[in-house]
Structure 1
Amino acid sequence: MRRKPSRPLRVGLTGGIGSGKSTVGQMLAALGACLIDADQISREVTGPQGAAMAAIRSTFGAEYVDACGALDRARMRQLAFSQPQARARLEGIIHPLVAAHGDSRAQQALAAGAGLIVHDIPLLAESGPSGPWARRLDAVVVVDCLAETQIERVMRRSGLAREQVQGIIASQASRSARRALADVVLANEADGTLQQLQAEVRQMARWFGL
């Protein structure tokens, strides 16, 4: 761990696919943290008539909007994986909206007396040092494991082929890039137990004053 933040009110939680990030988030919520899920907000702003949809339509065309007025996720996923510049444009639309909505929910939670706000942000490392989260967070927690552990977990839970999982991992920030952001690194390897992870999370929560 680095030096303890003086006011750890807003913590970014991130990790690669299959790392166990969502499990850690639920553990922190069970300990009393307010958990704000960036993926959930992203689904809201790209849902029917969501806040991102006008910009998505004008940037990518009506064919990327489904009959309900929501993002056609399958079509956009294919475009984003085949054209990195398209993915960057999409993230440029969605990420600032997710951050702004996260701000609003965090302020509501703080006003209600929350002691710790945890922002579950899968693509925190991808947003870069000057991205929308850079000045919003007091600390960053990275849930970390070997790539092989990620592959085995995702294959087991989703039924995807190894090559598909490897492609997803390759499209995300590298393990070293995520770790470089971290104030806290939680190891969650295949040989660890849920009880060991819970103990690490409880220790971290106390460090954050929860």
Structure 2
Amino acid sequence: MSKFVVGLTGGIGSGKTTVANLFGELGIDLVDADVVSREVVAKGTKGLTEIAHHFGPSVLLENGELNRAALREKIFNDPSAREWLNNLLHPLIRTEMLTQLQNATSAYAILVVPLLFENGLDRLVNCTLVVDISPELQIKRTTERDAVDAQQVKNIIASQASRDEKLSKADDVIDNRGDISALKEKVAALHNKYIKLAAQT
């Protein structure tokens, strides 16, 4: 891929989306795996048809869209179900993300992926940026934001690469314990760095 791509990741509740949106405000095209993963299972897609066929009608809402909560329930306690779903979705998501990255028109593009390292998607990018906070803060922010219990958040954290593993693989790290103005400064500095790197590729 000729486009210079930064892979942005971080655990649940770390503030990935906030950081991505700050890059977006600087005019950078974002390709968000969470958005793409919704697009490939939207109503009428091949992805949704196969999921409903495999898991049954309980994973569909009355309007025919995917019932994410019901699907999440089924896969979090069943590794084989999760594996089946991943095998279906990963190729669909990967293809769509690559298409969107190729169509990006900004100086560089950002690929936002919660499981960047876990799914080997760091191979698709030129450098990686990890948004980092402590697990305690992850649990606090996620329980407040999503109104879920702490144990569910702990399970999600446990299913992701460890904090140390992410940090050891990261080219750049944003510590997101501070306030939004500190975050904006860090993003602006990295933005200038990535523009220079993109110009060299």
Do they superpose with TM above 0.5? yes
Q: Percent identity, aligned pairs only?
A: 36
Q: Which residue of 2 aligns with 1:153?
A: 141
Residues 25-69 of structure 1: CA deviation (Å, up to 9, x unaligned)? 001011121011111111111121223124324544455445554
> Among residues 38, 41, 47, which one is paired with 2:36 in the alignment?
41
Residues 73-104 of structure 1: CA deviation (Å, up to 9, x unaligned)? 22211111111221122112112211111111
Alignment of 1:117 with 2:109, yes or no, is yes
TM-score of the pair, normalised by structure 2? 0.86
Q: Which residue of 1 aligns with 2:184?
A: 198
TM-score of the pair, normalised by structure 1? 0.83
Residue pair 2:122, 2:128 contacting (<8 A) in 1 also:
no
Alignment of 1:81 with 2:67, yes or no, is no
> Among residues 168, 178, 181, which one is paired with 1:180 in the alignment?
168
**Corresponding letter in the other structure for 2:156:** I
Structure 1 position 20, deviation (Å): 0.8
> Among residues 119, 122, 138, which one is paired with 2:126 in the alignment?
138
Q: Which residue of 2 aligns with 1:4?
A: none
Say if 1:73 and 1:114 are closer, same or farther in 2 by CA, change over 3 A.
same
Q: Distance in 2 between matches of 1:181 and 1:71?
A: 34
Moved over 4 A (4+): 65-69
> Among residues 182, 186, 194, which one is paired with 1:208 in the alignment?
194
Q: Which residue of 2 aligns with 1:18?
A: 13
Deviates more, 1:53-62 or 1:139-148: 53-62
Q: Which residue of 1 aligns with 2:199?
A: none
Say if 1:158 and 1:184 are closer, same or farther in 2 by CA, change over 3 A.
same
Q: Which residue of 1 aligns with 2:103?
A: 108
The CA RMSD over aligned residues, in Å, is 2.1
For structure 1, the 5+ residue unaligned runs are 1-6
Q: Which residue of 2 aligns with 1:90?
A: 85
Residues 95-141 of structure 1: CA deviation (Å, up to 9, x unaligned)? 221111111111112xxx421111111121221x4xxx243211111
Q: Which residue of 2 aligns with 1:3?
A: none
Residue pair 2:7, 2:122 contacting (<8 A) in 1 also:
no
The answer to which structure has the higher helix fraction is: 2
For structure 2, the 5+ residue unaligned runs are 197-201
Q: Distance in 2 between matches of 1:162 and 1:76?
A: 19
**Corresponding letter in the other structure for 1:194:** I
Residues 128-185 of structure 1: CA deviation (Å, up to 9, x unaligned)? x4xxx24321111110111011111122223323223222222222212222331111
Residue pair 1:151, 1:162 contacting (<8 A) in 2 also:
yes
